[in-house]
Amino acid sequence: MIDIEFRKGLKKTTVKIYDNIDQMPIERFNKANKYWMLHDNIGSVPADFDANHYNKLTLLAGDKNKCIAELNNFRILVFNIQNEINVEHKSFACLVHSVNGVEQDDLSENALDVLLKSLSDKGLTQEVLKKKLAPSVKESMRT
């Protein structure tokens, strides 16, 4: 496991996360894997339209069924953005073992949302995630 530390004012928060799939309980891995798959195929932010959908749509222009499937994926991305659902952040929440020593074992949708809100309120930012959760950690979790 690895520790991610960040501060908001004088309060320091330590988040312990799984950094190896062999450490993760099966249910937690399955939930994280679901969100990774959604992020990889659909996306989480508006920039993912260009990265995931626009090019595919132009390549699939001659295949009506595949175009419709890709437009449905884009529709899900827009729905998620409008409803403030970021599947990449949810996959991160599945990696969280504990916050300040308190284990996080509820993997329900609501509990993951509450955990993300709590971490955001404590000062966790996208910048911290990018720096502390290196791509090599993400990739080792997917293999």
Q: What is the pLDDT of residue 98?
A: 97
Percentage of the chain lying above the pLDDT 90 cut: 45
Mean per-residue pLDDT, 94-112:
96
Identify the residue with better confidence: 13 or 48.
13
CA-to-CA distance for 8 and 138, rounded, in angstroms?
Answer: 25
Distances in Å between the alpha carbon of 82 and those of 29, 41, 46, 85, 142? 27, 18, 10, 8, 28
CA-to-CA distance for 56 and 67, rounded, in angstroms?
Answer: 8
Q: What is the pLDDT of residue 101?
A: 97
| Model confidence band, residue 5 (pLDDT cutoffs 50, 70, 90) | very high
Alpha helices in the chain, H assignment, sequence order: 26-41, 47-48, 55-59, 64-82, 87-95, 109-121, 126-132, 135-142
Checking if the pLDDT of 138 tops 80, the result is no
User: Number of helices and strands (H, E) in the chain?
Assistant: 8, 4
Q: What is the pLDDT of residue 123?
A: 95
Distances in Å between the alpha carbon of 72 and those of 23, 63, 69, 77? 35, 14, 5, 9
Identify the residue with better confidence: 63 or 141.
63
Q: Which amino acid, residue 82?
A: Q
